[in-house]
Amino acid sequence: MTQKNDNEFYGNGQELHQTSTKKHKKLTTNQGVGISDNQNSLKYGKRGPTLLEDFILREKITHFDHERIPERIVHARGSAAHGHFKLTKSLADYTTTKIFTEVGTETPVFCRISTVAGGAGSVDTPRDVRGFAVKLYTSEGNWDLVGNNIPVFFIQDAIKFPDLVHAVKMEPDRGYPQAGSAHDTFWDFISLTPESFHTIMWAMSDRAIPRSLRMIEGFGIHSFRLINAEGQSTFVKFHWRPKLGLQSTVWDEAAKLQYADNDFLRRDLYEAIDQGDFPEWDLAVQLFTEEEAEAFPFDHLDPTKLIPEELVPLKVIGTMVLDRNPDNFFAETEQVAFCPSHILPGMDFSNDPLLQGRLFSYLDTQLSRLGSPNFNQIPINAPKCPFSNQQRDGHMQMDVPKGRVAYEPSSLQADSPRESTTGFKSFNEEFNESKGRVRPESFADHYSQARQFYISQTKIEQNHIANAIVFELSKVETQAVRLRVISHLMVIDKKLANKVAEGIGLDEMPSAFKAAVKPKDLPESPALQIIGKMKDTLKGRTVGLLFGEGSDENQIKRTQSAIKKEGATCKLIATKVGGAKLSNGKKLEADMQIDGAPSVIFDAVIGVLTPEMAKKYSKLPVINEWFMNAYVHLKAIGHDEGTNMLLDKIGIMKDEGVNDIMNLDAFIKSAKTRHWAREKQFS
């Protein structure tokens, strides 16, 4: 490939503009006031808090928050469950918050996991970031930890959030694509926003196509503060770690799941809880001081950055268990309202500019979506501890306050609520800077951690990232957008850029983007992988077992028992839901009929078939596809003598993932992982 000498664009890492001879319209507020800076919120100092007087930020986000009624604008499709959190290690040295100091206390929780881009009626399994929101009903009030399954975000400042979501949503002139980022407007915005490329690496990785909601991580994303009894502050980042470990699908499998089962992830979570296989997450924290933060080679207030675990190790402090499905999907899963501003005494916010905007935006959204400032009285949102204040009336007021006093201070009513010395106190942070629409220089490095994430992946995962970007850009019609993306990738990793360019058939390489700050070569962080962190377990998985007329009952029972012993589920599949007569003449009913049970919904597959049935089934496309898809999706395949004949006829090559179930131990071992070596056959 040859390299062009000229860029079609220029930028400094914070501002990026296409060169054009056309005269653009002036950007204004709804009142016609010209906007001089649409990239940064008004702050008190470069790293200070965002100011409420920023009428441009408030107007822009307020309008955005009210654009959809009543469906959520983002995170519309979600699944949720009740459970509890139990503290196992006290943080009394760092905070007075009781949920972090009273070891052994069980706190009720409601957890909602969602896709971001699609509407409420979209599918479960697109390539997308997953929201991970937990409402904890503590003795001191409700705490909402509202994050994602990715620890970083696309933008640094909340003023850009409406632009990001407008770009990723359906294109407004045509109303598609739904629940997908593979289109021009998204990649146009991304290619003009260098700060997004760290999150792009995550979104194009296997993190964005999870196998199960029970097998994803959750991150609070932002730095928060913990305040101890002496008023001292410690920064904290929150991590939810699944006990089952991380698991993802492969891309072809994820795409086929969209037609096989639109509710695949929702069904998986619901059925696991319904069967008593309760998912669990450890809550871990990263704790660091202001002085330690100053020594980091990045700014922890920048939401496009993470703190590597090798730099600040994780400390596990408790466990969340989800053990009860909602009684009513609308009343609970749909009406639950999460707000990052819902925190407790002993906590406080950092000056992360994205977090600062979210503190306003989420509350404003609930007022629009749920129709009333009294949304906190809906049962799923109501605190489980006593609460009282002087707020009155309003649409859908359900309380009946008594007495003549609706203000504070007062002297006319002895039981009227008053402020308390044990209530919430903000951290006393001093500033000595001027206000302005600014962004600190410490936010200007957009590529170092993007590069670190990519080089930290296994070769298999790196290949998946490249293939994902190729797929996305193949859906982009505008050549200039594709070139801009490649130019950014060249800064991250030249081999990655070349692979993507080759994948989309680019004849000439653009110049590498001129970064505002030269990327640093940060050390690899194995903690960022999925494959390297996979647990050697079959627990929580599902195996499909195909049987037919004359199948061996003893072999079926023996196989079912071995799978159950591993903590997995075995589903019986037949060509008819009524099942078939086995070798002993007994009728065995199937759990699922094969037309409605493609192998994409299972983690491994097994065939228990007589040679006669195998010969018959080899002529059925649905059977051939069932085994071939399992093979292509790198899954373990178990077979008896009859099924082995069928596999030979289909053309499935034998490897360590194809096992005779006379040796069930070998099959179980192979079913605990995917067989990545097969990918070379299909690349």
Q: Tell me how far apart the alpha carbons of residues 505 and 571 are, in angstroms, rounded to a whole number.
A: 43
Question: What's the helix, strand, coil split of the chain in %, to 5?
Answer: 35, 20, 50
Query: Do the beta carbons of residue 368 and residue 69 sit within 8 Å?
Result: yes
Check 40, 75, 82, 142 and give the catalytic one.
75
Nearest 5°: phi and psi at 587?
-85, 130
536: its two tokens: 């050697």
Is 148 a known active-site residue? yes
Closest residue by Cα to residue 627 from 604, 661, 655, 595: 604
Residues 6+ apart with CB under 8 A from 20: none
* Burial (CB count <10 Å: 0-12, 13-18, 19+), residue 63: exposed
75 is a catalytic site residue: yes
Distance CA 678, CA 683 (A): 9
Q: What is the dihedral of CA 30, 35, 40, 45, to 10 degrees?
A: -110
Where does 50-156 show beta strands of DSSP type E?
78-87, 106-115, 130-138, 141-148
3-class DSSP assignment, residue 43: strand
- Amino acid identity of residue 219, one-letter, is F
**Which residues does residue 316 pair with via DSSP β-bridges, in sequence order?**
284
Annotated catalytic residue within 40, 142, 148, 629: 148
End-to-end Cα separation, the chain, in angstroms = 21
Look at phi and psi of residue 231 and say left if phi exceeds 0, alpha if psi is from -120 to 50, else beta: left
Query: Which residues touch 3 (CB under 8 Å, ≥6 apart)?
Result: 508, 509, 510, 511
Which are the catalytic amino acids? 75, 148
